[in-house]
Structure 1
Amino acid sequence: MPKVNELQEHIQPGQVYRRADLAKWSNAVDRHLQQLVSKGVIQKLAGGVYYCPKKTAFGDAPPEDETLIRAFLKDEHFYMASLNAYNSLGVGTTQLYNEKLVYNHKRDGRHTLNGRHFYFLKRPRFPEESSQEFLLVDLINNLHFLAEDKESVLNSVAEKVRSMDKVKLMKTVQEYAGARTQSFFEKLFRSEEMKHAV
């Protein structure tokens, strides 16, 4: 059996692979990968990242974002977010964005994988799943990415904070806020306390 066929036997539809994952099954991995790409068995997504498409009635299904990011980072620990999620908070954000944010421990910067845009943000901590408190803190952290009027969004956030659980929000601020975001919320909490004190 040709060596390239041996390699092909280890490749499953719907999976994303790094070159390093496949090298153990080939004695000439770069040549074999090139052959499999030209046969349409796999697609090259980015430097050293390949995808074996899953065939459907509508053609090749693209890889799941999570599968793609996991292979790209060589890590299970990441949190994927969308700037569109802020629109659910009711603080005046309405724009739609194509790019997804990927919080992780390894990489920073913009990368295009399989024609999709991801902005990688290296962070010491990020949640496993979203919450209203995290979304609000994240919105202020990422205000510079947004196309909306910043002042108007900040005023709406200040309004929204009044109806939220302060203890949960303060805990989220301590865990995930950058320095500017922390300062913004601290001022808000102080002004709220002063209002109640009067």
Structure 2
Amino acid sequence: MRKLDELKRHLKPGQAYRRADLARWSASVDRHLKELVESGTLRKLSGGLYVFPKETAFGPAPPSDKEVVAAFLKDKSFLLASPNAYNSLGVGTTQLYDKTVVYNHKRHGEFQLGNRKFEFRMKHHFPKSLTREFLLVDLVNNVGQLAEAKDEVLKRVAEHAAKADPKLLRRAVQAYGNERTKKFFDRALAPRELHAA
């Protein structure tokens, strides 16, 4: 039992772990994992991914999405996004989506991690954090997946593009836009850039 206690000493509340992480501290990792899950010390999120819940006054708190995704990818280079963030742009999107998108360099597809669903999308480039410019570009990239009237939303995005910082927006379009998105912003920014010339 002392070996199991030794393994427990390495666990930090709210942290997510892969089986391989825990194998460093246990020669019988599968047996120890089984015991830790049965006792409620660890919760299994998916194959080979576990979490040590943080205790709060309201019971065990789930780990942050960032923690879970970092453990799943074995990488800290990713960006968490959601179509819900488009609602902050003021372009007429109001729907709420139960979806978290993970832009990353390693995985592609939908994965259920615990009781949360994540849509992993492999991208060469993405910013370190969500910026207004990135969200405008990302919205146009993904406009076909939205529940709102596409033409109405794109019309409002074009109006916002006309008022945005053209340099910042142009940089975001070049770095993160697909071909269709680049053409859309070329049209949206052309009158302003012509006027400025």
* 1:66 matched to 2:66: yes
Return the alpha-carbon distance in structure 1 between the equivalents of residues 162 and 70 of structure 2. Answer: 38
- Counterpart in the other structure of 1:174: 174
- Counterpart in the other structure of 2:131: 131
How many residue pairs were aligned?
A: 196
- Counterpart in the other structure of 2:146: 146
Structure 1 unaligned blocks of 5 or more? none
Return the alpha-carbon distance in structure 2 between the equivalents of residues 160 and 67 of structure 1. Answer: 34
TM-score by length of 2: 0.93
The CA RMSD over aligned residues, in Å, is 1.7
Return the alpha-carbon distance in structure 1 between the equivalents of residues 144 and 111 of structure 2. Answer: 19
CA contact (8 A) 2:162 2:188 kept: no
- Counterpart in the other structure of 2:121: 121
Return the alpha-carbon distance in structure 1 between the equivalents of residues 47 and 65 of structure 2. Answer: 17
Counterpart secondary structure, 1:162? helix
CA contact (8 A) 2:162 2:189 kept: no
1:81-104 per-residue CA deviation (whole Å, 9 max, x = no partner) reads: 121111111111000112111111
Structure 2 unaligned blocks of 5 or more? none
After TM superposition, the structure 1 stretch with the greater mean CA deviation from structure 2, 23-32 or 41-50, is 23-32
**Aligned-partner residue type, residue 140 of structure 2:** I
- Counterpart in the other structure of 1:80: 80
Percent identity (aligned): 54
**Aligned-partner residue type, residue 42 of structure 1:** L
TM-score by length of 1: 0.92
Q: Which runs of 4+ in 1 moved over 4 A?
A: 191-194
Return the alpha-carbon distance in structure 2 between the equivalents of residues 193 and 113 of structure 1. Answer: 45
**Aligned-partner residue type, residue 124 of structure 1:** H
Return the alpha-carbon distance in structure 2 between the equivalents of residues 60 and 167 of structure 1. Answer: 46
